[in-house]
Structure 1
Amino acid sequence: MNQVRLGIIGVGNMGTQHARYLQKGGIEGAILTAVLDNSEQRTEELQSILHKDIQVFNYEDEFFESGLVDAVLIATPHYDHSYLAIKAFEHGLHVLCEKPAGVYTKQVREMNEAAEKSGKVFSMMYNQRTNPLYQKVRDLIQTGELGEIRRINWLITNWYRSQSYYDSGGWRATWAGEGGGVLINQCPHQLDLWQWLTGMMPTRMRAFCQFGKYRDIEVENDVTAYAEYENGATAVFITTTCEAPGTNRLEITGDRGKVVVEDGNLHFWRLRVPETEFNREYKGGFGEPECWKVEIPIIGKETSHAGITQNFVDAILKNTPLLAPGEEGIKGLSLSNAMQLSTWLDDWVEFPLNEELYYKYLQEKIANSKVKKEAYNISLNVEGTY
């Protein structure tokens, strides 16, 4: 194979964006050959914005059995991701899936198992992993430059969303429509980066989610979470869609210093000797390790969605290592699910997450959702809408 024939499933906002750069030849070694969108009303519109040689399908079976695609890019509502990915693997297709991996880890685990069984390339659209700033932070941590991680603080409150935003779609901010709020819609990239940068998952978490705070919605839109790690490190994650102006500040402290990412800049304070060593040997009472502020060069540019797609295609054609392996999508989702479950239980939750218990509570939320799944043909176990 010297070219990947790519099909997009779900041609809404994100699917259309992907189609644009693919049609312009923005991905070397890839060509857009088909799209699948189950809205027959959109067929004529799609045919007008897509090249004439791109086939538009409204029915899954016709799309999957067409023989026109080698790989799919899934850009549908959250609940459909796992189901469609599994179906693609069963048809021998490679899969690139938009974030989040799914709504609940139980379905995502099934997707991961199908991916492993298929032997096909599987990637997640975690485009923030292409940001050289975050890549440098990860490098400082993974190479030991920051030392052993002790504390992680992420304050991300610049997700402002007004009531009119939520009112723009009946499925928005509902348990049946989206499966959550700020954690499942706005924050999947940060939840992914949180564990990707450090290479660590917590041992337990206590979270406080507020549902419909200052907004007429049923899902979480204000969250404060506290996590603990096996090595004694702790983390605090705070997010909301109700504050203006907002803040996006990530601070990670290690045994050898501290990094802060804010306003698109990386700041690094390095201790001359590790804190552990200083504490062990210093005998002067008051005092602290000598600290240097170090300028860290950030080389490269963020390639975002197209960068992940190019990496996905290169993995198929050249066996290039994936920047965002699909199987890792469950990690950030585990953090999200844990925050909600901790709130519902009003207690700590342990990792690995109790997937069955989370699923049980989620089903109760869906059953009482303002938007019934039948009204939007949203599926939890079988087929969905896109």
Structure 2
Amino acid sequence: MEKKLRVAVIGVGGIAQNQHLPAYEKIDNVDVVAVCDINEPRVKMVAEKFNVPKACTDYKEILEMDNLDAIDICTPNYLHSVIACAALEKGLHVLCEKPDAVSVAEAEKMKAAAEKSGKCLMVIRNNRYWPTSGFLKKFIGDGKMGEIYAARCGWQRRRGIPGRGGWFTTKAQSGGGPLIDLGVHMIDLAIWLMGNPTPVAVSGCTYNKFANSDDISDSAESRYGDRNKDGIFDVEDLAMGFIKFDNGACMQIEFSWASNIEKENFFVELRGEKAGSSWCSLDQKLKIFGESYGTTTDFIPNIDNTRGPRIHELNIRHFADVVLNGAEPMFVPQQGVNMIKILEAMYKSAEDGKEVRL
């Protein structure tokens, strides 16, 4: 009989209910054996909806379970490292929602705990699993774009603030606004496509202009998070910046929950010696720009990102494959440390008004 990975999901808010738990229902070699959340009515409802045998409100109870292999952390950001380190110390594998942690120090604690335990620590990097991402990674790996020396990426929303007044907009719990919420996605994808160069310097600006605006949304993504009309909004709603890498490459970045633009869009652009590429959510077309036989050329592969499994499901399947079958992990904890270094330095640069060396 095929061995199954026994997982407990800690935190059963929007991301768990809409992405993680539906994905587990489609994966044959994983069983969700418990769910946990501080909201008792919610965790009981989720356990019943997804046919999970155990529900509780204290993650420490989960860590004491027998016959448990791994946990999946879907809590507010500030708890990621706390729960991950505790689980690793108990000898459990850990899958965690992004961002890895709210500080470099906490991300480094997670990395050290994983190394000491010998268990797998993987943080969600679901945008690596788009069919477009896989095609472009192979295209670059075959040398068809040459050296990738510059990039531009971002996720811009017109109106799409998640959980206004809740943990998303409370810096002590989230670590920041759209930079730490959306930035992880597209910065990671761009860096991964570039071959994972090491960041060495960061500069940027952040703005908070919509904290007191009408609570309008035109983004489906803003459904995440519990709202609190009397709560806190002390994070940015727009961040723009610039990253330098150890190999001489650079990257421009922009992330917003609210900004006066035409419509929501996420994008990654790469500039290579032999060719460049552009991919955005507005038309979901990957476009590759080069030259052949004395003329410039545009190449548009026929890739359909709407077919097949959802990218969270593919990321979770990969985690199970790493743990159960020893597959080579696509994500390693040092990449998480480097990511949080970038984000932390961006906030520091915005505060001090100058470049931050890493």
Q: Same fold (TM over 0.5)?
A: yes
CA drift of 1:41 comes to 4.2
Alignment check: 8 A CA contact 1:269 1:291 kept: yes
Q: How does 1:73-84 map to 2 (within 5 A)?
A: 73-84=72-83
For 1:231 and 1:58, the matched residues in 2 are separated by 47
Alignment check: 8 A CA contact 1:192 1:329 kept: no
For 2:188 and 2:333, the matched residues in 1 are separated by 12
| Residues 1:171 and 2:178 are matched in the alignment | no
CA drift of 1:81 comes to 0.6
Alignment check: 8 A CA contact 2:176 2:236 kept: yes
> Which residue is equivalent to 2:299?
294
Alignment check: 8 A CA contact 1:202 1:230 kept: yes
> Which residue is equivalent to 1:267?
287
Render the CA deviation track for 1:131-178: whole Å, top value 9, x for unaligned: 01012222233332111123212243136325xx553x4333121131
CA drift of 1:91 comes to 1.1
For 1:46 and 1:257, the matched residues in 2 are separated by 48
Three-state SS of the structure 2 residue aligned to 1:14 is helix
Q: How does 1:8-27 map to 2 (within 5 A)?
A: 8-17=9-18, 18-22=20-24, 24=25, 26-27=26-27
Q: Percent of counterpart pairs with the same letter?
A: 27
Structure 1 vs Structure 2 CA RMSD: 2.3
CA drift of 1:47 comes to 4.3
Render the CA deviation track for 1:340-361: whole Å, top value 9, x for unaligned: 111112111112xxxxxxxxxx
- Structure 1 unpaired stretches of 5+: 274-288, 352-386
Alignment check: 8 A CA contact 1:142 1:198 kept: no
**Change over 3 Å in CA distance of 1:166–1:61 after alignment to 2:** closer
CA drift of 1:64 comes to 1.1
Residue 314 of structure 2, aligned match among 307, 310, 313: 307
Q: How does 1:85-234 map to 2 (within 5 A)?
A: 85-158=84-157, 160-161=159-160, 165-167=162-164, 169-199=165-195, 200-210=197-207, 212-216=208-212, 217-234=233-250
Q: How does 1:26-65 map to 2 (within 5 A)?
A: 26-51=26-51, 54-65=53-64
CA drift of 1:247 comes to 3.5
CA drift of 1:68 comes to 3.8
Q: Which stretch has the larger CA shift, 222-231 or 175-184?
A: 222-231
Residue type at the aligned position of 2:59: E
Render the CA deviation track for 1:34-78: whole Å, top value 9, x for unaligned: 112233344543443242x61112223322112141111111010
> Which residue is equivalent to 2:252?
236
For 2:143 and 2:308, the matched residues in 1 are separated by 24
Alignment check: 8 A CA contact 1:308 1:323 kept: no
> Which residue is equivalent to 1:369?
none
Give 1 or 2 for the bigger CA radius of gyration. 1
For 1:62 and 1:129, the matched residues in 2 are separated by 33
Residue type at the aligned position of 1:19: L
Residue type at the aligned position of 1:208: C
- Structure 2 unpaired stretches of 5+: 213-232
Alignment check: 8 A CA contact 2:186 2:267 kept: no
**Change over 3 Å in CA distance of 1:97–1:155 after alignment to 2:** closer
Render the CA deviation track for 1:66-101: whole Å, top value 9, x for unaligned: 214111111101011111111111111111111110
CA drift of 1:124 comes to 1.5
Alignment check: 8 A CA contact 1:145 1:256 kept: yes
Alignment check: 8 A CA contact 2:168 2:174 kept: yes
Q: Which stretch has the larger CA shift, 321-330 or 337-346?
A: 321-330
Q: Which stretch has the larger CA shift, 290-299 or 119-128?
A: 290-299
For 1:245 and 1:177, the matched residues in 2 are separated by 28
Alignment check: 8 A CA contact 1:181 1:221 kept: yes
For 1:156 and 1:145, the matched residues in 2 are separated by 27
Three-state SS of the structure 1 residue aligned to 2:91 is coil
**Change over 3 Å in CA distance of 1:256–1:87 after alignment to 2:** same
For 1:115 and 1:260, the matched residues in 2 are separated by 36
CA drift of 1:330 comes to 2.3
Residue type at the aligned position of 1:180: G
For 2:73 and 2:246, the matched residues in 1 are separated by 35
Residue 338 of structure 1, aligned match among 332, 345, 354: 345
Alignment check: 8 A CA contact 1:4 1:71 kept: yes
Three-state SS of the structure 1 residue aligned to 2:34 is strand
Q: Which stretch has the larger CA shift, 77-86 or 214-223?
A: 214-223
Number of aligned positions between the proteins: 329
TM-score by length of 2: 0.84
For 1:247 and 1:30, the matched residues in 2 are separated by 34
**Change over 3 Å in CA distance of 1:233–1:3 after alignment to 2:** closer
Three-state SS of the structure 2 residue aligned to 1:183 is helix
**Change over 3 Å in CA distance of 1:16–1:295 after alignment to 2:** closer
TM-score by length of 1: 0.78
Q: Which stretch has the larger CA shift, 144-153 or 112-121?
A: 144-153
Alignment check: 8 A CA contact 2:149 2:272 kept: yes
